[in-house]
Amino acid sequence: MGLSWVDAAIGKINAKTSAGEVLIGLVHSDAIIKTSAGEVEIGVAATNTGKINIQNSSGDVEIRIPPTLKSTIKGTVTSFDWGDLVGDEIKSDYLVASKKSGGKVNFSCVLNGGGGIIDINVSMGELRIKKVLK
């Protein structure tokens, strides 16, 4: 329970909380991030080629991505909105392909030809993919 905060993670990171936030300024390698009833906010280093896995139940996820990152971002956002139209579940500064069916939005985004995998699963929350220039 509580807040997990890291300014920069050079090596592999495994962060898990219940009823707390996970804030990581910059991820340089592999990361596993799991939380429930909390926010996740991370920045990804432009040189990161590792695998990042984010799972959040009942909370938003914000991931900050530099425009030079070679990556494939994919996953699912589940909400209570059971329509088939994509709404506000995903807000992205990058082009994201998405398909909604029965409250689940499956999405993918290939940046600069692809590379390290970023797998994001959000339940009862919003996903924000932000472009950063740092």
- pTM value? 0.90
Q: Domains of the chain: which residue ranges?
A: 4-131
Specify the pLDDT at position 11: 80
Per-residue pLDDT of the chain (134 residues; tens, 9 = 90+): 555 656 766 789 998 888 889 999 999 999 999 999 999 999 999 999 999 999 999 999 999 999 999 999 999 999 876 555 556 789 999 999 999 888 889 999 999 999 999 999 999 999 999 999 86
Specify the pLDDT at position 101: 83
Please, are residues 32 and 50 in contact by the beta-carbon 8 Å criterion? no
Give the tokens for residue 41: 């906010």
Specify the pLDDT at position 100: 86
